[in-house]
A and B are shown apart, each in its own frame.
Chain A
Amino acid sequence: MATISAWLKIDEERVVPALREAGEKLNGDGGEVLLDFSCVSRIVPSAVKAMENFARLADDRAVKVVLRDVNVDVYKVLKLVKLTPRFSFVSRDPRSPD
Chain B
Amino acid sequence: MITSEAVKERVEIPLASETLSEERIAYLEGLVSQARTAAAVFTQFSQEDVDRIVKPMVLAGLEQAQHLARLAVEETKIGVMEDKVIKNMVATEFAYNYIKDKRTVGVIREFPERNLVEIAEPIGVIFSLTPITNPTSTVLFKCIMAIKTRNAVIFSPHPKAWRCCSEAVRIMYETALRHGAPEGVFTCLESHTLQDNAYLMKHKAVGLIDATGGPGAVKAAYSSGKPALGVGPGNTPVYLEKTADLNTAVVDIIISKTFDNGTICASEQTVVIDDEIYDLVLNKFAELGAHICNDKETKLLARTVIDPETGFMQPLAVGQKATDIARFVGLSVKPNTKLLIAPIQGVGREHPLSVEKLFPLLSVYRAKSVDEALKVCVDVNHAGGLGHTAVIFSRNDEVIRKFGEVINAGRLIVNSPGSIGALGAVYNDLVPTLSFGCGTGGGNSTTDNVNIYHYLNIKRLARRTQAHMWFRVPNQIYFNMNAVENVRNFPSRCTVIITNPAMEHIGHVDIVRRCMPEQTHVHVLVIPDAEPEVKVVVHGVETLNFYKADQIIALGGGSVIDAAKIMKLKYESPEADLQELAAPFLDLRKRVVQYPTEKLTRARLIAISTTSGTGSEVTPFAVLTDKEHGRKVTLADYSLSPDVAIVDPQFVMSMPKGLTADTGIDCLTHALEAGVSSYASPYTDADAMQAIRLVFKYLPIAYENPRDEEARCMMHNAACIAAMAFSNASVGVNHALAHAFGARFGVAHGRANALMLPHVIAYNAAVPTKFMPSPYTQGYVAHKKYATVADLLGLGGNTIEEKVKNLVAATEQLLDRLGFPRSIAELGISREEFERAIPDLTKLAFDDPSWRSNPRMPLMSELADLFWSAYHGRGVAQAANASQKQTA
Contact surface of A with B, Cβ cutoff 8 Å = 42-46, 48-49, 73-74, 76-78, 80-81
Contact = CB atoms under 8 A, between A and B. Distances in A.
The 5 closest A-B pairs by CB, nearest first: A80-B40, A45-B183, A77-B40, A42-B44, A45-B37
B421 interface: no
The winner among A73, A77, A80 for most chain B CB atoms within 10 A is: A80
Nearest to A42: B44
Nearest to B42: A77
B44 A48 contact: no
Given A73-B43, A73-B44, A77-B44, A46 B36 contact: no
B157 to A, nearest CB: 24
Contact of A80 (B34, B36, B182): B36
Interface string B19-55: 0000000000000001011111101100000000000
B241 to A, nearest CB: 54
Nearest to A79: B40
Contacts of B43: 73, 76-77, 80
B233 to A, nearest CB: 36
A44 B182 contact: yes
A80 B44 contact: no
A81 B182 CA distance: 14
B36 A81 contact: yes
Contacts of B37: 45, 48-49, 81
B124 interface: yes
8 contacts: A45-B34, A45-B37, A48-B37, A49-B37, A77-B43, A78-B40, A80-B36, A80-B40
Interface in B579-632: none
Contacts of B44: 42-43, 73-74, 77
B124 A45 contact: no
A5 B102 CA distance: 50
Given A48-B41, A74-B44, A76-B43, 15 more contacts: A42-B41, A45-B34, A45-B38, A46-B183, A48-B37, A48-B40, A49-B37, A73-B43, A77-B40, A77-B41, A77-B43, A78-B40, A80-B40, A80-B43, A81-B37
B442 interface: no
Contacts of A76: 40, 43
Contacts of B183: 44-46
B122 to A, nearest CB: 10
Most B Cβ at <10 Å: residue of A44, A46, A73: A44
B558 interface: no
B441 interface: no
| Residue from A43, A45, A76, A77 having most chain B Cβ neighbours under 10 A | A45
Interface band, chain B: 10 to 19
B184 interface: yes
Nearest to A47: B41
Contacts of B124: 80
Contacts of B41: 42-45, 48, 77
B29 to A, nearest CB: 13
Nearest to B45: A42
A14 B574 CA distance: 83
A49 to B, nearest CB: 7
Contacts of B34: 45
A80 B150 CA distance: 14
Interface string B101-125: 0000000000000000000000010
A44 B44 CA distance: 9
In this complex, which of B34, B44, B124 has the most chain A Cβ atoms within 10 angstroms of its Cβ?
Answer: B44
A73 to B, nearest CB: 5
Contacts of B182: 44-45
B44 to A, nearest CB: 5
Interface in B472-519: none
A54 B34 CA distance: 17
A37 to B, nearest CB: 13
A69 to B, nearest CB: 16
Nearest to B182: A45
A44 B38 CA distance: 8
Nearest to B122: A80
A49 B30 CA distance: 12
Contacts of A74: 44
A44 B41 CA distance: 6
Nearest to A81: B40
Contacts of A81: 36-37, 40
A25 B124 CA distance: 35
A6 B773 CA distance: 53
Interface in B117-166: 124
B641 to A, nearest CB: 55
Interface in B169-185: 182-184
Nearest to B33: A81
A80 B38 CA distance: 10
Contacts of B184: 45
B185 to A, nearest CB: 9
B33 to A, nearest CB: 8
Nearest to A41: B44
A9 to B, nearest CB: 20
Interface string B184-220: 1000000000000000000000000000000000000
Nearest to A73: B44
A56 to B, nearest CB: 14
Nearest to B39: A80
A26 B124 CA distance: 34
A76 B40 CA distance: 8
Contacts of A80: 36, 39-40, 43, 124
Contacts of A48: 37, 40-41
A77 B44 CA distance: 8
B558 to A, nearest CB: 61
Choose among B36, B40, B43 the residue with the greatest number of A CB atoms under 10 Å from its CB: B40
A50 to B, nearest CB: 11
A50 B53 CA distance: 25
Contacts of A78: 40
Contacts of A77: 40-41, 43-44
A42 B183 CA distance: 14
A84 to B, nearest CB: 11
A52 B182 CA distance: 17
A77 to B, nearest CB: 4
A42 B43 CA distance: 10
A80 to B, nearest CB: 4
A20 to B, nearest CB: 18
Nearest to B41: A45
A76 B122 CA distance: 12
A46 B43 CA distance: 15
Nearest to A46: B183
Contacts of A45: 34, 37-38, 41, 182-184
A81 B41 CA distance: 9
Interface string B362-406: 000000000000000000000000000000000000000000000
A79 to B, nearest CB: 8
A73 B36 CA distance: 16
A42 B38 CA distance: 13
A48 B42 CA distance: 12
| Residue picked from B37, B124, B182, B183, most chain A C-beta under 10 Å | B37
Nearest to A83: B40
B592 to A, nearest CB: 44
Which of A46, A48, A76, A78 has the most B CB atoms < 10 Å from its CB?
A48
Nearest to A71: B44
Contacts of B40: 48, 76-78, 80-81
A78 B41 CA distance: 9
Contacts of B39: 80
B380 to A, nearest CB: 47
A24 B776 CA distance: 62
A42 B182 CA distance: 12
Contacts of A43: 41, 44
A46 B44 CA distance: 15
